[in-house]
Amino acid sequence: MDKKIVVLSGDGIGPEIMDSGLKVFNAIKSICHHSYSFEKKPFGGAGIDELGAPLPQTTLTACQAADAILLGAIGGPKWEKMADTPEQGLLALRKSLNLYANIRPVSVSSALLEFSPIKPAIVEGTNLIIVRELSSGIYFGEPRELTETMAYDTARYNKSEIARILHTAFKIAQGRSKKVTSVDKANVLASSKLWRTTAEEVAKEYPDCQLEHQYVDSAAMKLIQNPTAFDVIVTENLFGDILSDEASVLPGSLGVLPSASHSESGPSLYEPIHGSAPDIAGKGIANPISMILSLTMMLRQSFEEEPAAKLIEDSCEAVLAKGIFTHDLGGESSTNEFTEAIIREITRTTY
Ligand code: NAD
Ligand code: IPM
Ligand code: MN
């Protein structure tokens, strides 16, 4: 059956890495069970430029009717002073689709070991998943206000919002090492106190799993000091945003980390964890691995295309093992050269 994918390339390096992801998809489509159609829609700064809004109604309607959404990245200096920014469009999209569960896997393959600024002996074997609550917390809490002299936000969580993301984390942990680290600031924040007691309650439903709590400040330190001690980390929206960029130091670049965002029902969204990288946009040097791995997450989690996803991952690993790297990892390859190398690897295996 034809699966409809809405493609939101976005801004900055977004279209460059999306182009790479779609080329890789084209190379594996013959081994997919389903057939796929792709529909590009303006979003973010591109939405503002083309249709006057970061999340144009036609884009939202297409996303709501899609089987999955692929997103590049949004934002940039051109739009940051506007009343309705690309970032607001991204938050509105996440909220509209009720994408509460953001899954951010972080692993360090042996080919990347030397690129981490952390000693290889510490990062070797890193394989963790950050489960970030994505549709609530301080990103969305009301009231909020900004004046010339005063500003505030509201970090608000309902118990049901905390419970459902904890369930997501435990279910993921059941398929892994059965250990969940819940990260909060329960020594200070009311929202974190509720987070912690709710985590304890949900944990009772998963007697096969172990739950530990860490405060976010200490967790940020331990993530770098001893990353292999973590398996599934579950945390609120803002802490998950910060810890996942921090975790990208382990494999050596923000440009290699993908993500998946799920609701209870309806289309999931797949996007790199990084932004539009205005500092390198237009140079053709962005690392497309984050987008390519987001594609593999889509193939697995929305469409059960395990062989295709595995082939992409293996091909990516093979290219890295040959010493082909983009600039962020100290290599010389352009986005296109790196992408072509992956496609050569895929084609070698499939034909
Ligand atoms: P960023 O993630 O865009 O870039 C941070 C650093 O990482 C930069 O030096 C950049 O060059 C590098 N980098 C990121 N992705 C890379 C890749 N694939 N290959 C090589 N290097 C890469 O963060 P920023 O500069 O703080 O933000 C830029 C814009 O992106 C802002 O408007 C921000 O709001 C937006 N943003 C969007 C998303 C998203 O679309 N989901 C995520 C984060 C930031
Ligand atoms: C991310 C980004 C977004 C976030 C911004 C662009 C709104 O940093 O996806 O991690 O904070 O969630
Ligand atoms: Mn972020």
- Which bound ligand lies closest to the C-alpha atom of 276? 1
pLDDT in tens, 55-94: 999 999 999 999 999 999 999 999 999 999 999 999 999 9
Q: Which residues neighbour 138 within 8 Å (Cβ) at sequence distance 6 or greater?
A: 153, 154, 155, 156, 236, 237, 238
pLDDT of residue 113: 92
Integer Cα distance of 55 and 47 in angstroms:
6
Q: Please, which pLDDT band fits residue 218 given cuts at 50, 70 and 90? A: very high
Cβ proximity of 247 and 128 under 8 Å:
yes
pLDDT in tens, 333-343: 999 999 999 99
pLDDT in tens, 12-54: 999 999 999 999 999 999 999 999 999 999 999 999 999 999 9
- Backbone region of residue 304 per phi and psi (left: phi > 0; alpha: psi in -120 to 50; beta: other values): left
pLDDT of residue 3: 98
Q: Which residues line ligand 1 (CB under 6 A)?
A: 13, 17, 73-76, 87, 90, 254-255, 271, 274-280, 286-287, 290, 328
| Phi, psi dihedrals of residue 194, rounded to the nearest 5° | -65, -40
pLDDT in tens, 104-137: 999 998 898 988 999 999 999 999 999 999 999 9
Judged against a pLDDT cut of 80, whether residue 222 lies above it is answered with: yes
Helices (H), the chain: 14-28, 45-51, 57-64, 86-96, 120-123, 159-174, 190-203, 216-225, 237-247, 289-301, 306-321, 335-350
Token pair of 51, please? 């249709």
Residues with catalytic annotation?
139, 185, 217, 241, 245
Average pLDDT value for the chain: 97
- Which bound ligand lies closest to the C-alpha atom of 242? 3
Residue of the CA atom closest to atom 4 of ligand 2: 241
Section 314-340 average pLDDT: 97
Integer Cα distance of 37 and 6 in angstroms:
8
Q: Which atom of ligand 2 is nearest to the CA of 237?
A: 12
Integer Cα distance of 82 and 106 in angstroms:
34
Residue of the CA atom closest to atom 34 of ligand 1: 75
- Which bound ligand lies closest to the C-alpha atom of 246? 3
pLDDT of residue 57: 98
Q: Which atom of ligand 1 is nearest to the CA of 274?
A: 2
How far apart, in Å, are the Cα atoms of 167 and each of 54, 163, 230? 32, 6, 18
pLDDT of residue 351: 64
pLDDT of residue 200: 98
pLDDT of residue 47: 98
pLDDT in tens, 242-299: 999 999 999 999 999 999 999 999 999 999 999 999 999 999 999 999 999 999 999 9
Nearest Cα to Cα of residue 219 among 233, 207, 206, 208: 233
Token pair of 269, please? 């969204």
Q: Please, which pLDDT band fits residue 350 given cuts at 50, 70 and 90? A: confident
Ligand 1 pocket test, pick from 274, 279, 292, 338 with the greatest ligand atom count within 8 Å of Cβ, gives 274
Q: Which residues line ligand 2 (CB under 6 A)?
A: 75, 87, 90-91, 241, 273, 275
Token pair of 9, please? 């390339």
pLDDT of residue 114: 87
Residue entry with tokens 């969580």: 157
Integer Cα distance of 54 and 59 in angstroms:
9
Domains of the chain: 1-99+267-351 (3.40.718.10), 127-249 (3.40.50.2300)
Q: Which residues neighbour 30 within 8 Å (Cβ) at sequence distance 6 or greater?
A: 350
Listing DSSP states for 77-138 in one string gives GGGTTSSS-HHHHHHHHHHHTT--EEEEEEE--GGGGGG-SS-HHHHTT-EEEEEEE-SSGG
Integer Cα distance of 349 and 92 in angstroms:
41
State which residues have CB under 5 angstroms from ligand 3, the bound ion. 241
pLDDT of residue 62: 98
How does strand 68-73 pair with strand 268-270?
A: parallel
Residue of the CA atom closest to atom 12 of ligand 2: 241
Token pair of 183, please? 């990260």
Integer Cα distance of 23 and 75 in angstroms:
24
Token pair of 28, please? 């594996």
Judged against a pLDDT cut of 80, whether residue 148 lies above it is answered with: yes
Residue of the CA atom closest to atom 9 of ligand 2: 273
SS3 14: helix
Section 199-218 average pLDDT: 98
How many CA atoms within 13 Å lie on the side-chain side of 213?
A: 16
pLDDT of residue 115: 86
Which residue(s) pair with 321 in the sheet?
none
pLDDT of residue 312: 98
